[in-house]
Amino acid sequence: MSNNPLTPGVVPARLPGHVLAENFGDSAPPLDRHEARVAADRCYFCHDAPCMTACPTSIDIPLFIRQIATGTPEAAARTILAQNIMGGMCARVCPTETLCEEVCVREVAEGKPVEIGRLQRFATDTLMEKGIHPFTRATPTGRRVAVVGAGPAGLSCAHRLAMKGHDVHVFDARTKAGGLNEYGIASYKSVNDFAQAEVDWLLMIGGITVHNGKTLGRDMQLSDLQRDYDAVFLGFGLAGVNALRAAGEDKANVMDAVDFIAGLRQAGDKGAVPVGRDVVVIGGGMTAVDAAVQSKLLGAENVTIVYRRGQAKMSASRHEQDHATAAGVRIIHNAAPVAVHGNGAVAEVEFAYTEETATGLTLRPETFRLRADQVFKAIGQTLLGAPEGVVVQGGKIATTGAGRTNVAGVWAGGDCATGGDDLTVTAVTQGRDAAEDIHAALAAKG
């Protein structure tokens, strides 16, 4: 039991170790070589493949699946990684059910798509497990580029720039590189410390130096980077979390879902992570689903997601919603928090039913309460502050083209920039494309 009298219901080790190990095992076990060949044989290898069009990184999906079918998974991995250097993680976390697999001809005709995501993982894992890095650096250019943020966008940008022969210095506020891949992904989606293994593999290209524990605005200013480097890429993500704007949200055991997920990801022993008996998660995106499902896996008895709009407006995919309900999570739609009740610590959350009208979302007079000893806020993240002189639009750094900001020589991409949809695969694409634009701009200077 907790030693804090305000939080008697939030305790560690609700489940025995062997149950936790099973709960947090790989949610989608990898295909073996035979299974991969069988899965690849289902592909029609479409000439005008809709799956390739639906992929944000434009991977040649028919080609890499044919390469698996012909027994050359390493070649398939190169096809994938040439477009998406973080194809290993994307194979684990990308919502393929709403992207490539949703438009697969097999899905349209039979209701069962080719397992593109699992095939991608088979190929990339095969290559990485052999310690092979298929790309080499070009002749050094003598140019130096600063990348702020070691998440998917920053690392993708850094890798492509290193390939072009530039020297890249990556600055990140955390103690580990990886960004949301390391700190923000549900533990059961990326097991065995894969995020760090992928970072180590990516850095094998050479020419990239990572500086951890360095925060823009505290340890260096944008003007410093502009002075010392030939170009700057901003990919530091979103560090702020939106408030509930409900009375009492400052009570004990009301916390940010992203912090809970990060703490669980970094915990060597999942049993050491405390969880409530009655957990309420407020939000409708992937963060909400990940926090809710993992609360259930830790042993919470009652877990409820509450979202202020209807099911169709939830940003979490229907596949992820179904996964949550299959895990025992209840989802309530069209309700918004109005107050958090309790004596020091949360005991109940009061909600009002909502209604969408022509003028926006309104609260109906009818309310209800949910018992809760732990509440997770998952209602979106915000930009804590842009570097001086950089224009912000809609809460993100404004960009044009391949990530150009209004400041000459400064690019941006990933969650902190406009044009994204908060997906790892999109961040990788933006980092890659910005790197190509940076390279072209530096080459034009002579």
Instruction: Specify the pLDDT at position 241.
Output: 85
Q: What is the mean pLDDT of residues 13-34?
A: 95
Rounded percentage of the chain residues whose pLDDT exceeds 90: 91
- Residue 195, pLDDT > 50, answer yes
Going by C-beta distance under 8 Å and a sequence separation of 6 or more, which residues neighbour residue 202? 85, 86, 155, 159
Count of CB atoms situated within 10 Å of the CB of 156: 30
Q: What is the CATH number of domain 241-377?
A: 3.50.50.60
pLDDT tens-digit readout, 253-298: 999 999 999 999 999 999 999 999 999 999 999 999 999 999 999 9
Please determine, for residue 4, whether its predicted confidence score (pLDDT) is greater than 60: no
Tokens encoding 332: 């309530």
Residue with tokens 């980092």: 431
Q: What pLDDT was estimated at residue 7?
A: 64
- Is-contact 334 303, C-beta < 8 A? no
Q: pLDDT tens digit string along 155-185?
A: 999 999 999 999 999 999 999 999 999 999 9
What pLDDT score does 300 carry? Answer: 98
pLDDT tier at 419 (50, 70, 90 boundaries)?
A: confident
Residue 103 neighbours by CB distance under 10 Å: 17
pLDDT tens digits, 113-149:
999 999 999 999 999 999 999 999 999 999 999 999 9
Domain with CATH 1.10.1060.10 in the chain: 33-129
pLDDT at 3 over 50: no
Which of 172, 225, 232 minimizes the C-alpha distance to 203? 172
**Mean residue pLDDT across the chain:** 95
**CA separation for the pair 129, 179 (Å, rounded):** 22
316 falls in which pLDDT band (50, 70, 90)?
A: very high
Asked if 15 and 24 count as a contact pair (C-beta separation under 8 A), the reply is: no
Q: In this structure, what are the phi and psi dihedrals at residue 103, rounded to the nearest 5 degrees?
A: -100, 5
Query: In the predicted model, what is the mean pLDDT of residues 221-239?
Result: 96
Q: Which residues of 426-443 are buried (b: 16+ CB within 10 A; e: fewer)?
A: bbbbbbbbbbebbbebbe
Residue 206, C-beta contacts closer than 8 angstroms, at least 6 positions apart? 137, 162
CB-side exposure of 199: number of CA atoms within 13 Å?
A: 20
Q: Say what angle helices 33-40 and 61-69 make with each other, to 10 degrees.
A: 130
pLDDT score of 384: 84
**Residue keyed to tokens 């979490």:** 316
Ramachandran quadrant class, 403 (left: phi over 0; alpha: psi -120 to 50; beta: rest) = left
CA-atom Rg of the chain in angstroms: 23
CA quadruple 43, 44, 45, 50: dihedral sign: negative
Average pLDDT over residues 215-243: 95
Q: Token pair for residue 385?
A: 């502050």
pTM: 0.95
Q: Which residue is associated with the tokens 């790309």?
A: 135
Region 85-114: mean pLDDT is 95
Which pLDDT belongs to residue 2? 42
**Topology of the domain comprising 144-239+383-445:** FAD/NAD(P)-binding domain (3.50.50)
Distance CA(81)–CA(158), nearest Å, equals 14
CA 279 to chain centre: 23
The ranges of the chain annotated as CATH 3.50.50.60 are 144-239+383-445, 241-377
Beta strand extents in 173-265 (DSSP E only): 208-212, 231-234, 240-241, 254-256
Q: Could you tell me which CATH number the domain at 33-129 has? A: 1.10.1060.10
Q: Which two tokens stand for residue 304?
A: 């409820």
What does the pLDDT read at residue 8?
Answer: 73
Give the pLDDT score at 292.
98
DSSP-assigned states of every residue in 181-206: HHHTS-GGGS-TTHHHHHHHHHGGGS
